Amino acid sequence: MSAQFEFHLRGARAPEGQLDADHLLAIVTSLREVATKIGRAETDAEAVGRAPKRVHRVAKLLIGLAPGSTTVLARRVGAGDGALDFDLPDEQAFDESFQALVESIADDQRPAWVSDSLSLAAESLAGALRQAAPEVEFKVSGQLRRSFRTVDLHQETWLVGATPDSESVTFVGRLYAANLNTHRLQVQDDIGNQVGLPDVADDAQIATLLGSYVIVSGSPVVDAGGRLTHIHEASVEAAPHSVEGSRLQDAISLDEVLASAPGPDPDGGIELTDDEFDDFWAALHT
């Protein structure tokens, strides 16, 4: 049987058994991200790309709300009806890793086994819990495992290292998403690359730039393929109009290229006397 994970949110600003929609969405999104990262690891799936079916079998979650200081419930879906009465090894490993990670969040300590990718997901979950309630009780199948204050959770615990050859990066793109509840922003450049900006300072003021081009500087985080995915400790400022207006031009047609290309100059070339021309013509036919 899959374990049931319970997050009792004490002091949440909502009636018992209810939760602010943005806070709930942030928690559910981060729980799904954590589950997927752990599922990939336990089934030896690639860290990037579409998750294969074996990951969904292990990592798909059911989420519920219950009264009692408002409780978020999460458990593995499993194989559904007709499944075996016992868990497979990778399913057991998933439950153990999920429990260990949440306990590490509560202890504000990053274990050595947590990858950079999973560390980012853990930071998202810690941030979502911090926004939702001042205190959290974490239970597994009814047994209390941890009780902690969310103010004691530090973002720095889960920060990952910068790229080996650079401690800072600058990214220019359009600010296209801003969640003031989780303090997370997202930017996208003109060719579709999207970069997350977690825990941005003064995000309420920066959110006024939504839809505009911005210049972002901070500590880069890359995925296994070397692609920039996040920028931590980001500073964000409006891009100058010269940058905002600079876009790749549309492709130029061949006709336009040929029309603008210079042709032969009828008045150009080498000036030859009649004797020189006769000698040149004779040389061609020898």
List the domain boundaries for the chain: 4-158, 169-244
pLDDT at 238 over 70: yes
**Cα–Cα distance, 49 to 169 (Å, whole number):** 24
Amino acid 69: pLDDT: 77
134 within 8 A of 149, measured Cβ to Cβ: yes
Among the residue ranges 53-57, 216-220, 229-233, 257-261, the one predicted with the least confidence is: 257-261
pLDDT at 144 over 90: yes
- Tens-digit pLDDT profile for residues 152-175: 998 888 876 544 444 678 889 999
Rounded to the nearest integer, the mean pLDDT of the chain is 79
180 or 18, higher pLDDT: 18
Mean pLDDT of 85-97: 78
Mean pLDDT of 165-192: 79
187 within 8 A of 194, measured Cβ to Cβ: yes
What are the tokens at 219? 């500590």
Amino acid 134: pLDDT: 94
254 or 95, higher pLDDT: 95
pLDDT at 115 over 60: yes
List all residues 6 or more positions away from 170 whose beta carbon is below 8 Å from its beta carbon: 215, 216, 217
Mean pLDDT of 220-227: 69
Name the superfamily (CATH) of residues 169-244: Nucleic acid-binding proteins (2.40.50.140)
Name 194's bridge partners. 188
Mean pLDDT of 282-286: 70
pLDDT at 147 over 80: yes
**Cα–Cα distance, 130 to 125 (Å, whole number):** 8
47 or 40, higher pLDDT: 40
Mean pLDDT of 231-238: 85
- Tens-digit pLDDT profile for residues 118-142: 888 899 999 999 999 999 999 999 9
How large a percentage of the chain has pLDDT more than 70? 75
- 102: three-class secondary structure by DSSP: helix
Beta strand residue intervals within the chain, DSSP E: 4-10, 61-66, 71-76, 135-140, 143-149, 169-179, 184-188, 194-198, 213-222, 228-238
